[in-house]
Structure formats: C-alpha cells, structure tokens
Chain A
Amino acid sequence: MARATASVYGLMAEFDDPTTLVAAAAEARREGYQSMDAYSPYPIEELHEALGAHHTKLPLIVLIGGLCGCIGGYALQLWASAVAYPINVGGKPYNSWPAFIPITFECTILAAALSAVLGMLALNRLPMPYHPVFNVPRFALASRNRFFLCIESKDPKFDLDGTRRFLETLNPREVSTVAD
C-alpha cells in the first residue's frame, strides 16, 4: 500500500451540482478525512465551511500593508519637505500636514491593494505551474460546470480501496485516481 500511495496524489470524485459536492465534503469530514480539497467553477460559501473553515490571515496582511503605506507615505513627504529639501512656500510650515494628506491617503490605498493581491496569491501558493489534479483529464470541467472533491493520499485515513468505496457512496458521477 505504501508503494501505491507514493505515486498517487489522491482520489477525486466528480459531482453534477453544488449541493451534492457540499454534502459530500461535509460527509467526508464527518468520516474523519482531513487532507482534502474541493474544486468548483465559482466560489461556494458553504463549501468552505463544509471543509472545516478557518479564517484567512489576509485582512490582517492588508491592514499591515495599508498602515505601512500610510506611515511610509507621510514619512517620505515629511522627510523630503522638512529635512532633505526644505523650501519656504508662502510661509507654510515645513511640516504642512494638511497638504500631505492626499498623498498619504493614496500611498495607503496603493500599499493595501498590493498587499491584498500579493497576499492572496502567496497564501494560495500561486502562481503554481504544475499541480497533480490537472492529471485527471475531466478536471478541465472544474472551470466550466462540474464540481470535484479530492481526498489526498497524505491523509492518515487514506486507503486506495476503502476511500474509493467511501467516495462511491456520495453520489458521484465518477471517481478517478489522481496520479502524482
């Protein structure tokens, strides 16, 4: 069995509609499986919960990014206008904070938006040029109209025959083996 699982990434069941997939994911979790992932052509809120939702760190990353942009943007203007190149403009103080607000705001948004996008990609480990699930030819339909549940071989409960038999009970269209 050890040899068989080494070359197998997991077992993948294909479903026709979102309801069956969500039910299957919840059932697999009840059965004790942990290393699994579901694939759908559009975001399904219930699916994430059924798989055992945990909060994403992304909002915190965006907050930190935004704060860095905010402080960095203001510091840049303060340093340039008061330290590096102080010029008296119409008697305004070197630290003309009201005039520095627009750029501080723009820097906040820019840094927060970049953190949102780069943070999401990093947490999702994207870009990822190769992933075993693409070895299943029918997986191409995951971006069209089909729904997939993949139980991975690294799960302690995974057993090629037992897991396959379990997946067959969940009303799938078909179950295929995912080569690693």
Chain B
Amino acid sequence: MTERNVEIEDPLHAVVGTGKPPVIAPGHTFSTVTDKISAIVLTRKTSLGWYAGFGVAFLLTMLLLVSVTYLVLKGIGIWGNNVPVGWAFEITNFVWWIGIGHAGTLISAILLLLKQTWRTSINRFAEAMTLFAVACAGLFPAIHTGRPWLDYWLLPYPNTMGVWPQFRSPIMWDVFAVSTYATVSALFWYIGLVPDLATLRDRSQSKTGRVIYGMLAMGWRGSAAHWHRYEVAYLLLAGLATPLVVSVHTVVSFDFSIAILPGWHATIFPPYFVAGAIYSGFAMVLTLAIPIRAVYGLEDFITLRHLQNMAKVMLVTGLIVVYGYMTEAFMAWYSADKFEMYVPINRMTGAYAPFYWGLLFCNAVVPQCLWLRRVRSSPIALFVIAIVVNIGMWLERFIIIVVSLHRDFLPSAWGMYAPTIWDWSTYVGTIGLFLALLFLFVRFLPMISIFEMRTILPEAKVDEDLRVI
C-alpha cells in the first residue's frame, strides 16, 4: 500500500492511494499555487508563440468583421441559403457554438453541486470558453435576421408601432434563453474571478496592474463574513445555472421540434440536444486544455485525472447521442409516415450521404476508443478524438438543419444548398474571434481559479484537534 503513495517525480504519473492520478500534483502549498498561476499573468514574459497565435486569431477576427460588413452592405443574399434551405450555415454554427458553451456551465455548476473537486482546476477557463462561445453563437441569429440593425425589435419594449413580440414562438423563447444564459454565465464567471482579481491586485508590480485589477476586484479583502455570503451566492448561482443550462439547449431544440418538418418534429430532441451539447462542449474543453497545459506547464494542476474524467463524460454523452440517432431512425420507421420514413433514407443515400456517414464515423465510431484506459491516458490521442468529435457535432447540426430542409413534403419544393465563400468566412471568422478572446483571457486573467485551488490543498483543512488552545 505504501508503495502506491510514493511521490513519483513526473506529476503526470504520480499516483495516490486510490490508484488514480491526483487532482493536484503533490508538494504544492498556498504560496506555490498562488505564485505559479498568477505568474502567468503578471511576471512571465509573453512568449512569441502567444503573439503568433493571437496574431492569427486577430486576423481571422478581422475576416469576420469584413464578412459582417459586406453582409450589412449587400444583405443575406451573399450566403448560399435560399428557399427551401432558409437556415443553413448560420443556424448550424449557432447551435454548434452554443452547445460548446454548455460544458463550461456543466463543469462550473453541476460538478460543483455534485462536489467533484477535480472540476476546480478546469472550471475557470471552461467558463471563459462558455462566455466566448455564447458570444460567437449569439452573433449568428443576430446577423441572420437580415437587418441586424433592427434586432432590438425582438425585445419587448413599448413602441410607436403598437406591436409586441409573438411569445408563442420558439424563436422568442430562444432570445430569452440565450440572453439569460449569456448574462448568468458572465455573472458566474466574474463573481468567481473577484477573489483572484484581489490576488492579482496585491501581487502586481506595476501601477497600471494594481489600478485595473484593483477596480475589478471591487475592494475584495477576504473577510470571513464576505466569504460566507460569497459561498452562499456562488452555490445559489450554481443551483440556478444547472436548470438554466438544460433549458437553453432544450429551447434551442424547440426551434426545430415545434415545426412539423420531417427530421425536426421529434420528442427526443430536447434530451438529445442537451447530451450533444455537453458532448461537444467537453470535446472543446479537451481541445483547449491539452495544448494550454503543455504550453504553460500546468500539468501539476490539470492532471491526467482531469483528462480521464473528461474523456469519460465524453464517452457517456457520446453514447446518449448515438442512442438519439437510433431513436430518430426507429421513430421514422415506426411512424409509418411516408415523409418521416424518407428522412433516414435520404440521410443515408441522398445527396448529402457522405456527411451522414462522416457524422457516424466522428461521433459514434471514433469515440469508442475511449473505452480503453490507454487512450484515456494519452493527451495526444484525446486531443485527436476531441477534434474529431468537434467536427462530428458540427456535421450533426448541418444534417439536422440542411438535410431536413432540402427535402420537405413536396418534391416541387425540393432544393440543394451549397455554402458560399461568405458562409465559410463568417464561420472561420467566429473561430478567430473565439480564439482571440481566449488568447487575451489566458494572458490577462488567471486561467485557473487560485482560491479554489487553495481549498483543495491538504494544508487548507482546519485541524479540529488543535483548535482549542
């Protein structure tokens, strides 16, 4: 037994009594945790790699700006979507991005309520990822309205036209769900940051740093009474965010399932969409966490345990998604409805069949490798699988949206969809925006929650026996 507790020099392979890698490498103290995480922001020289990466992401963000500007000038005719495929890349990307965001909330809220301490070192940047993904997601329906400068018409406000939004429409539900989600995610993230901003304020060597972090920290001083209310507020926010995150993708799925279109009108949609969202979100967390921990040397804090656990979540949610695919096919057959039965046949053999088979390969076949412990313990293998799942989940949304729309009831109304260069540039542009925001985040804010890392250290425990003097 004692052998298993031996500290091995490589923190990646350090093993504690349970036989699992630890959530934090042994030997860390309050000061080492604080210094190591805050040094990334405060003292470490910004690497050339950061400038290069941010530069590329910034250029792509400029591409997004050009695309949106051209869109406003010309109208949505620059995109490939047209009747019958009125929703195409833009809504695919919207659902893809917002799904990615869901993992952040799951990690920060649901795993907090379930007392999963391993979430501590990944929740901060998973929440940041949520925020940036929701920003990218929100952009798509906003520009897809065709006249984005009139988007405020979606809000219920007294106006001289005397009209009010149609609250029976799932599109209105979406407006409320996504804007609530964005607001609550931002609050959760910022409130989580406040004690760490105080740490940065106290440790910053420059006047500018002290002033900016000081203002953002709002005078946080770590008082016991403050901590108490803070913890209550944080738990309540987690409790509120948990049903919220489930509701958001449920409402997104209502956008489809309320319609009578074959391929959309299915009761499996809400749970299937939520599972897909968590699946793609964890894939994105892995896609980001694996390079970040390697580049910034954070293997002590983001250990193999985290990667393995995320791989397991991916495996489970991936299986739920596969169950969703099977249910869709079964219900189509069971409905005995000609149009419903045509949907899976068209998906498997129609014009877009390669995408469907690609989707099954990416989402159903490749992730089965995660059953093997060897794969779950290899960061490189996990990174590759995560990328494959990201692609697979994008294909899934493309198939649900475009393939369902292009073959509806009347053959005379059938059509084909092909993206234009502007569809692609807008999509790639949002990836640039997402990455640019992430680069700024890891440079200017602590990407791991310092105060929560302190709480999981052995020295953080109050020794009950020694309390009485």
Chain A residues packing against B (C-beta within 8 Å): 17-19, 22-27, 37-44, 46-48, 51, 53, 56, 58-59, 62, 66, 76-77, 80-81, 84-85, 87, 89, 92, 96, 99-100, 102-103, 105-107, 109-110, 112-114, 116-117, 119-121, 123-124, 126-131, 133-134, 139-145, 170-171
Give complex CA distance A53, B228 in Å: 9
B219 adjacent to A44 (CB under 8 Å): no
A44 with B180, Cβ < 8 A, contacts A80-B164, A109-B240, A116-B237 known: no
Question: Are B218 and A140 in contact, with the CB atoms below 8 A?
Answer: no
B463 part of interface (Cβ distance < 8 Å): yes
Question: Chain B residue with minimal CB distance to A76?
Answer: B156
A-B contact count (CB 8 A): 211
Given contacts A48-B228, A120-B229, contact A99 B222 (CB under 8 A): no
24 residue pairs A–B, Cβ–Cβ below 8 Å: A18-B459, A19-B463, A25-B224, A47-B227, A48-B225, A48-B227, A48-B228, A51-B224, A56-B228, A56-B229, A58-B232, A59-B236, A62-B236, A77-B167, A92-B168, A105-B247, A106-B244, A110-B180, A113-B237, A114-B187, A116-B240, A117-B191, A144-B202, A170-B469
The stretch of B16-24, B75-83, B289-297, B447-455 in contact with A is B447-455
Complex alpha-carbon distance, A170 and B468, angstroms: 11
State whether the Cβ of B183 lies closer than 8 Å to any Cβ in chain A: yes
CA A62 to CA B224, docked complex, whole Å: 21
In this assembly, does B87 line the interface, its C-beta being within 8 Å of a C-beta of chain A?
no
Query: Which of B187, B195, B237, B462 is the most central at the interface, judged by chain A CB atoms within 10 Å of its CB?
Result: B462
Distance from A13 Cβ to chain B, minimum over Cβ atoms (Å):
13
The answer to whether the Cβ of B165 comes within 8 Å of any Cβ in the partner chain is yes
Closest to A73 in B: B176
B225 touching A19, Cβ below 8 Å: no
B467 lies within 8 A of A81 (CB): no
B residues less than 8 Å from A44 (CB atoms): 224, 227, 460, 462
The residues of B with any CB-CB pair to A shorter than 8 Å are 29-31, 34-35, 156, 162-168, 170, 172-173, 176-177, 180, 183-184, 187-188, 191, 195, 198-199, 201-203, 218-233, 236-237, 240-241, 243-244, 247, 251, 254, 451-452, 454-455, 459-463, 466-469
B164 touching A85 by the CB < 8 A rule?
yes
Cα distance A66–B244 in the bound complex, in angstroms: 13
User: Given the complex, which residues of B lie within 8 Å of A76, measured CB to CB?
Assistant: 156
For residue A180, give the distance in angstroms from its CB to the closest CB of chain B: 15
Judging by beta carbons under 8 Å apart, are B455 and A43 in contact?
yes
Q: Which residues of A contact B229 (CB under 8 A)?
A: 56, 58, 120, 123-124
Cα distance A17–B463 in the bound complex, in angstroms: 10
Cβ-defined contact, B228 with A43, below 8 A: yes
A110 touches B232 (CB 8 A): no
Pair A23/B454 contact, Cβ less than 8 Å? no
B-chain residues with CB within 8 Å of residue A113 when the two chains form the complex: 183-184, 187-188, 237, 240-241
Most buried by B among A107, A126, A130: A126
- When distances are taken between beta carbons in the complex, the residues of chain B under 8 Å from A142 are 202, 221-222
Partner of B224, one of A48, A66, A139: A48
A123 to B176, CA, bound (A): 29
Contact B230 A120 (CB under 8 A): yes
Distance to closest chain A CB from B187 (angstroms) = 5
- In the complex, which residue of chain B has the Cβ closest to the Cβ of A51? B224
User: A128 vs B220: C-alpha distance in the bound complex, in angstroms?
Assistant: 8
Complex CA distance for A178 and B365, rounded to whole angstroms: 65
Contact B233 A117 (CB under 8 A): yes
The answer to whether B466 and A39 touch across the interface, beta carbons within 8 angstroms, is no
CA distance A81 to B163 in the complex (A): 10
Which residues from chain B contact A18 at a C-beta distance below 8 Å? 459-462
Q: Is the CB of A37 within 8 A of B218?
A: no
Q: Would A23 and B468 count as touching, CB distance under 8 A?
A: yes
Residues from chain A with Cβ under 8 Å of B31 in the complex: 144-145
In contact, B172 and A110 (Cβ under 8 angstroms): no
A106 touches B247 (CB 8 A): yes
Given known contacts A110-B180, A117-B233, A129 and B219 CB-to-CB distance under 8 angstroms: yes
- Excluding A41-B30, A145-B34, 16 further A-B contacts by CB distance (< 8 Å) are A39-B222, A41-B34, A41-B195, A41-B451, A43-B228, A43-B455, A59-B232, A102-B251, A106-B173, A106-B177, A109-B244, A113-B187, A124-B225, A129-B219, A141-B202, A145-B29
B187 engages A103 (CB within 8 Å): no
The 7 closest A-B pairs by CB, nearest first: A145-B30, A127-B218, A120-B233, A80-B164, A128-B219, A43-B227, A140-B202
Q: Name the A residues within 8 Å of B198 (CB-CB).
A: 143
